[in-house]
């Protein structure tokens, strides 16, 4: 069985919490530690609040990467709290995460240039130290829920220093995948993956071969099952429920990267140059339509 022993996955959380009792889904319980940032703390409340986000992140990452340590960085739901949580995880010499997963975000246009720059700089610092940052691309289609008739991408997924994680609709039968297509169920009010072209960040060099991204950084880079109708069974505050969204895809990819790091005995860091440079069919940078509906920190 694949193991991520020796790896730590960092989860950035801006609210909610987890309960140690929520650990009986038929798999070995992971080692989970809470790391307070700027007065933030593990503060579980109810299953229909931010606890669902926290437990989704923990349980998906731990299920994909058995024996990995999960460090949850709880910070205030503010721009500064967001930045400091990433910075704290990046320079945590005790837990030493090699992957940071972020399921929080908001339309790129709703951020001030100053806040966007500060958060991007924090992600860039993580990448420079060999830490891969995975970020949910959004759950509200190509408009990202803005409602102005224009297209918008989600940030921090649009940062060129993170791995933007989009969503698919995956159908399986008898333990075999029978279909996997882009998650685009807006017509039935069941969400759609975020995706499009950034208006804040230029086209990165590793997307140079993609004509559609000439005007800016293309989102997402990778994808995974996100449709709530084909989602993830998790345990939250004693309740079993199924949750979807691209916020499940960020910890999914974080877990996969932790497994690879354990096997390779080295941290992957910024993956995009290798992903986009791989021979064969290039990964799609654009999803036709478009984080767990969490809003930008206010």
- Rounded to 10°, the helix 113-128/79-90 angle is 10
Instruction: Cite the active site residues.
Output: 53, 57, 247
Distance CA 105, CA 292 (A): 9
Helix (H) or strand (E) holding 61: helix 51-64
What DSSP line would sit under 167-208, residue for residue?
EEEEEEETTEEEEEEE-B-GGGTS-B---EE-SSSPPPGGGT
Query: Is 204 in contact with 272 (CB distance < 8 Å)?
Result: yes
Vertex 133, ends 268 and 144: CA angle to 5°? 140
| Distance from C-alpha of 88 to C-alpha of 232, rounded to nearest angstrom | 29
- Distance CA(50)–CA(42), nearest Å, equals 11
Residues 6+ apart with CB under 8 A from 292: 53, 56, 103, 104, 136, 139, 243, 245, 246, 247, 248
Please give the Cα distance from 1 to 235 (Å, whole number): 24
Residue 273 φ/ψ, nearest 5 degrees: -55, -40
């Amino acid at each position: 069985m694949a193991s991520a022993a020796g790896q730590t996955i960092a989860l950035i959380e801006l609210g909610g919490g987890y309960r140690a009792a929520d650990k009986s889904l038929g798999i070995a319980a992971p080692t989970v530690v809470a790391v307070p940032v700027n007065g933030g703390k593990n503060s579980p409340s109810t299953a229909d609040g931010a606890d669902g986000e926290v437990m989704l992140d923990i349980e998906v990452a731990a299920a994909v990467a058995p024996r990995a340590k999960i460090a949850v960085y709880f910070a205030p739901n503010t721009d500064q709290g967001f930045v400091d949580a990433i910075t704290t995880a990046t320079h945590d010499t005790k837990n030493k995460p090699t992957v940071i997963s972020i399921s929080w975000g908001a339309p790129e246009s709703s951020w001030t240039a100053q806040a966007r720059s500060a958060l991007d700089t924090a992600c860039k610092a993580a990448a420079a130290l060999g830490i891969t940052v995975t970020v949910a691309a959004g759950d509200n289609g190509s408009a990202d829920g803005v409602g102005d008739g224009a297209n918008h991408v989600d940030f921090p997924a649009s940062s060129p220093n993170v791995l933007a994680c989009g969503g698919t609709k995956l159908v399986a039968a008898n333990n075999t995948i029978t279909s996997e297509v882009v998650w685009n169920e807006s017509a039935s009010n069941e969400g759609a993956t975020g995706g499009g072209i950034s208006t804040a960040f230029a086209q990165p060099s590793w997307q140079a071969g993609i004509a559609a991204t000439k005007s800016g950084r293309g989102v997402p880079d990778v994808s995974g099952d996100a449709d709530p109708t084909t989602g993830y069974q998790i345990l939250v505050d004693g309740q079993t429920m199924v949750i979807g969204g691209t916020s499940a895809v960020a910890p999914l990819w974080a877990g996969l990267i932790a497994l690879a790091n354990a096997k390779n005995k080295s941290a992957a860091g910024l993956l995009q140059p290798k992903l986009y440079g791989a021979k064969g069919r290039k990964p799609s940078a654009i999803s036709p339509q478009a984080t767990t509906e969490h809003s930008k920190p206010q």
